[in-house]
Amino acid sequence: MELPILQQRGAILEALRTHHRLVLEAPTGSGKSTQVPGMMLDGGVVGDGDIWVLQPRRVAARMLARRVAAERGGPVGGEVGFQVRLESAVGQDTRIRYVTEGVLLRRLTVDPKLEGTGAVVLDEFHERHLEADLTLARLAALQNSDRPDLKLVVMSATLEAGALLDYLAPAAHVRAEGRTFPVEIDYLPRRYADDRVWDVAAEAMGRLDPAKVEGDVLVFMPGAFEIRKTLEVLRGTLLARGRALLPLHGELPPREQDAAVLPGDQPRLIVSTNLAETSVTIDGVTLVVDGGLARVAGYDPRRGINTLLTEKISRASADQRAGRAGRTRPGRCLRLWTQEDHARRPEQLAAEVHRLDLSEAVLALKAAGFTDLAAFAWFEAPGPESLQRAEDLLGDLGALDEAGAITETGRAMLAFPLHPRYARLMLEAGQRQCVPSAALLAALAQGRPLFRRRGRGDRRQAELQDDLFGGETRSDFFRLMRAWNWAKARGFDPRAAGKLGLNAAAAREAGAIAAQIARSAERAGLESPENAPPADEADLRRCILAGFSDHLARRLDGGTLRCDLIHGRRATLARESAVRDAPLLVAAEIREVEQRGGEEVDTLLSLATEVEEAWLRELNPHAWHEGETTTFDPHLKRVVAVRERRFRDLVLARETRGEPDPDAAGALLAKMIEAGEIPLRTWDEAVEAWLRRVAFLRAAQPELELPEFHAEDRRGVLEVLTHGEVTAKAVRDKPVLPVLRDWLRPEQRQALDRLAPERVTLPGGRQARVTYPDGGEPYLASRLQDFFGQRESPRILGGTHPLLLHLLAPNQRPLQMTKDLASFWANAYPEIRSELKIRYPKHDWPENPLTAQPPAARKRGK
């Protein structure tokens, strides 16, 4: 069976001869990832240059390299190689290099012109990873400047090619139609409340007739944990009988990954992450069971918290997954959600550039000379606040200066294929002669978890762990390092490690990653003497602080695990942390955790390290403050003078120093009222009405030069009000109106009362209130009878402006509006009167209202 992409060979090569940019669309499984690079190499498109193929997933890069090397008859690391973060197999002869996206970006920082590279292929571009977007923008810029000869190919199965073709214009466009067979899609009839998606899968699959399922079954689950659970519940079911049950996810050893992809002698039931959605094709699948979930990386820019949460996949993803069942013959897809739920799902997930932490990207761009990132030619520009957040973090780490330009520290950080935090940590380690330990520490923090997730019955294991790795320690990292050393001393023996709940494979990998980090440290010129004494723990803790100073937390009290964080945040220290008694700490992980099946989200600090106050000052003297200030004591509910020490906005220590400065106290109370922290009951409707009166008169008679009152002026009024006060109680009920009146000159005050009076007197002596609407015509609303004896409309503005009258019936409903009372009496009244006599017979409706008296006045007169 020939792969569809091979039929496009001519079109692809021709497009690349006439254009430097190609957008290639072909369905999953057509042969894009495995065939196109070789086609380009053999077709002479790149001369003697290399081809870099960018993959969004490490596993895919590895598997593709193995597959293509085998197809072309060589070893991995020969003509075909791969390179992923911290692991590589490339050699002298490597021409096709499958890499993860970050690898090329880092390459660009050391080799900005990509010397020796003939083409770059961006695969799976529809995933819209941040790094792919950045790579696209930078390569387009490179083609426009130093490398017009570089070939750029963007490939995807589901591509919105329009926007991309516009962005890359002039670019060639090749599409291959794939062979696909129809896939019948079923939904669940009812919603399931349970969050145990594996049980739902097992139940739905239990209802199928196993005899009717020929070929392989592919089940999608969000992660390794759910995959394990699914395999457990499926084992022993009818559908599983006679099938090989295989997991597929990025944390498996390569051999097991291959086992899931390569055809075997037995039909298979494969449970996979979204790796099998488009990256990796498994032939022979006829039934897809889709849990509908995926782990999605996200970022909360407001609080600066990275999240990796299980989320519902989009409709586009669901369609891709369903398509996996129809590759070789008609198939079936079981969606474990309802049709209503499906309709509510988003069509597509937003691109990562809109969702993720941009700090590493920003640092790389700054280093490449892009200073103004808002002006960078993004394929899609990120929100300004997430750019700001990234620049702030880099500022905190000392990688950018005040002006936002990259510092020497920032440049040095680029030498590490690590998140800027860990790069900063490694630099500090270079200063403190503890590179090997710091590298291990960084590796442990980034690799797979060393401790397996604990089940409920694992009390004994927890005790064992405590006995061996617990005890006095000032950092959760040290506990991890002890466990790692223990596993290493046992040759990473899985059985020994397993008894203690340790993942031996993860430990082994961490060692390899640490060695990689140490090598990059060495390349970066950090000192790492062979026979250095073991690292001092305090030094290591200072390294951790350098990488996480913006995660500084101070415990609120000894009784709870609540902490105050920098930037006004609150969080809880993880219960299992070893530094529960530390008053001051930094957390390497701040994450949102779903609780009770996703109903609640708490912010949890983990991987914590105790730090000392003196270190903060040394680390960043600019962020350290000590001095007297005025603050509001929430317990005393009053303003007090304090002496305090702060690191940025986090108060480290505070002591009360008696009475505050009156000016400062008043200003603080005013600020709190403005922020709504102290209610001010006296700023009421009467105050607002007065302000509207002033505004009306100001517009009607500009020559009076009445002041204009803006929202900003409120603060000034409040400051006068609060001046000399120190308690919340004293200001809460203090009248506002006198302060506002004082704000007018005496003659202005008189003019206000004369020309725009608050009330006018009606014949019976009633004081009727005038309403001055915001920007509208002033009016007087009162019962019709109140105007008996009043010939004409009352006037304001010194008799020049008749008031608009709202004449009301005895039940307060409006009867008529008029500015001309005299004409109302003469024309409208006689008619209205006869009606009123019927509706309100007990009231007096005199024929001549001008000689009558208002009824209320009569009552009052008695």
Q: Does 33 bind Mg ion (CB under 5 A)?
A: yes
Instruction: Find the shortest distance in angstroms from Cβ 346 to ligand ADP.
Output: 24
Q: Which region among 22-30, 506-514, 631-639, 743-751 touches ligand ADP (by CB under 6 A)?
A: 22-30
Q: Which residue's CB is nearer to Mg ion, number 119 or number 770?
A: 119
CA distance 715 to 306: 37
Instruction: Find the shortest distance in angstroms from Cβ 28 to ligand ADP.
Output: 4
Q: Does 26 bind ligand ADP (CB under 6 A)?
A: yes
Q: Which region among 33-41, 113-121, 620-628, 728-736 touches Mg ion (by CB under 5 A)?
A: 33-41
Q: Which region among 33-41, 473-481, 588-596, 777-785 touches ligand ADP (by CB under 6 A)?
A: 33-41
Q: How many CA atoms lie within 13 A of 557 on its CB side?
A: 2
Instruction: Find the shortest distance in angstroms from Cβ 56 to ligand ADP.
Output: 12
Q: Which does 117 bind (CB under 5 to 8 A by kind): ligand ADP, Mg ion, none?
A: none
Report whether the peptide linkage leading into residue 849 is cis, meaning its omega lies within 30 degrees of zero: no
Sites for Mg ion among residues 241-280 (CB under 5 A): none
Instruction: Find the shortest distance in angstroms from Cβ 327 to ligand ADP.
Output: 7
Q: Does 100 bind Mg ion (CB under 5 A)?
A: no
Q: Does 259 bind ligand ADP (CB under 6 A)?
A: no
Q: Which region among 30-38, 79-87, 465-473, 652-660 touches Mg ion (by CB under 5 A)?
A: 30-38
Hey, what's the torsion of the CAs at 724, 726, 727, 728, to 10 degrees? 70
Place of tokens 């409340």: 193
By CB under 6 A, how many residues form the interface with ligand ADP? 16
Q: Which of 46, 51, 59, 63 binds ligand ADP (CB under 6 A)?
A: 63
CA distance 61 to 433: 36
Q: Which region among 26-34, 163-171, 297-305, 374-382 touches ligand ADP (by CB under 6 A)?
A: 26-34
**Pair 687, 737: CB distance under 8 Å:** yes
Q: Which does 247 bind (CB under 5 to 8 A by kind): Mg ion, ligand ADP, none?
A: none
Q: Which of 80, 142, 261, 739 binds ligand ADP (CB under 6 A)?
A: 261
Q: Which residue's CB is nearer to ligand ADP, number 67 or number 312?
A: 67
Q: Does 67 bind ligand ADP (CB under 6 A)?
A: yes
Instruction: Find the shortest distance in angstroms from Cβ 29 to Mg ion.
Output: 8
The 3-state DSSP class for residue 473 equals coil
Q: What does DSSP assign to residue 419?
A: -
Contacts of 436 (CB under 8 A, 6+ apart): 514, 518, 528, 532, 535
Q: Which residue's CB is nearer to Mg ion, number 269 or number 280?
A: 280
Q: Which amino acid is at 729?
A: K
Give the DSSP H/E element, type plus range, for residue 311: strand 305-312
CA distance 628 to 669: 17
CA distance 737 to 719: 14
Give the DSSP H/E element, type plus range, for residue 230: helix 224-234
Q: Which region among 27-35, 38-46, 51-59, 353-361 touches ligand ADP (by CB under 6 A)?
A: 27-35
Q: Does 35 bind Mg ion (CB under 5 A)?
A: no
Q: What does DSSP assign to residue 308?
A: E
Q: Which residue's CB is nearer to Mg ion, number 32 or number 243?
A: 32
Sites for ligand ADP among residues 576-605 (CB under 6 A): none
Q: Which does 547 bind (CB under 5 to 8 A by kind): Mg ion, ligand ADP, none?
A: none
CA distance 355 to 382: 8
Q: Which does 281 bind (CB under 5 to 8 A by kind): ligand ADP, Mg ion, none?
A: ligand ADP
CA distances for 288 relative to 165, 279, 810, angstroms: 33, 16, 75
Burial string for 379-416 (b: 16+ CB within 10 Å, else e) reads beebeeebbebbbebbbbbbbbeeeeebbebbebbbbb
Q: Does 3 bind ligand ADP (CB under 6 A)?
A: yes
Instruction: Find the shortest distance in angstroms from Cβ 314 to Mg ion.
Output: 19
Q: Which does 243 bind (CB under 5 to 8 A by kind): ligand ADP, Mg ion, none?
A: none
Q: Which residue's CB is nearer to ligand ADP, number 3 or number 367?
A: 3
Three-point CA angle 383, 348, 354, nearest 5°: 15
Q: Which does 606 bind (CB under 5 to 8 A by kind): Mg ion, ligand ADP, none?
A: none
Angle between helices 101-110 and 359-367 (to 10 degrees): 30
CA distance 276 to 298: 21
Contacts of 503 (CB under 8 A, 6+ apart): 448, 449, 450, 451, 452, 497
The 3-state DSSP class for residue 750 equals helix
Instruction: Find the shortest distance in angstroms from Cβ 355 to ligand ADP.
Output: 25
Q: Which residue's CB is nearer to ligand ADP, number 30 or number 722?
A: 30
Q: Which region among 26-34, 144-152, 557-565, 632-640 touches Mg ion (by CB under 5 A)?
A: 26-34
Instruction: Say if residue 515 is exposed, middle or buried (CB neighbours under 10 Å; 0-12, 13-18, 19+).
Output: middle
Cβ-closest position to Mg ion: 33
CA 373 to chain centre: 19
**Pair 545, 609: CB distance under 8 Å:** yes
Q: Which region among 28-36, 244-252, 416-424, 830-838 touches ligand ADP (by CB under 6 A)?
A: 28-36
Q: Does 55 bind ligand ADP (CB under 6 A)?
A: no
Sites for ligand ADP among residues 497-526 (CB under 6 A): none
CA distance 83 to 29: 23
CA distances for 631 relative to 149, 210, 277, 567, 666, angstroms: 64, 72, 56, 17, 11
Q: Which residue's CB is nearer to ligand ADP, number 174 or number 440?
A: 174
Contact letters (x/-) for ligand ADP, 314-333, by CB under 6 A? --------------------
Instruction: Say if residue 1 is exposed, middle or buried (CB neighbours under 10 Å; 0-12, 13-18, 19+).
Output: exposed
Q: Which two tokens stand for residue 378?
A: 């993004």
Q: Which region among 24-32, 145-153, 627-635, 706-714 touches ligand ADP (by CB under 6 A)?
A: 24-32
Q: Which residue's CB is nearer to Mg ion, number 35 or number 437?
A: 35
Three-point CA angle 47, 52, 56, nearest 5°: 160
Hey, what's the torsion of the CAs at 10, 13, 14, 18, to 10 degrees? 170
Q: Does 102 bind ligand ADP (CB under 6 A)?
A: no
Q: Does 281 bind ligand ADP (CB under 6 A)?
A: yes
Q: Does 143 bind ligand ADP (CB under 6 A)?
A: no
Q: Which does 601 bind (CB under 5 to 8 A by kind): ligand ADP, Mg ion, none?
A: none
**Pair 592, 305: CB distance under 8 Å:** yes
CA distance 190 to 600: 24
Q: Which of 23, 24, 25, 28 binds ligand ADP (CB under 6 A)?
A: 28
Q: Which does 722 bind (CB under 5 to 8 A by kind): Mg ion, ligand ADP, none?
A: none
Q: Which does 261 bind (CB under 5 to 8 A by kind): ligand ADP, Mg ion, none?
A: ligand ADP
Instruction: Find the shortest distance in angstroms from Cβ 93 to ligand ADP.
Output: 21
The CA radius of gyration of the chain, in Å to the nearest whole number, is 37
Integer distance in angstroms from the first to the last C-alpha of the chain?
A: 110
Q: Which region among 27-35, 129-137, 161-169, 257-265 touches Mg ion (by CB under 5 A)?
A: 27-35
Q: Does 29 bind ligand ADP (CB under 6 A)?
A: yes
Q: Which residues bind Mg ion (CB under 5 A)?
A: 32-33
Q: Which residues bind ligand ADP (CB under 6 A)?
A: 3, 26, 28-35, 63, 67, 261-262, 281, 283
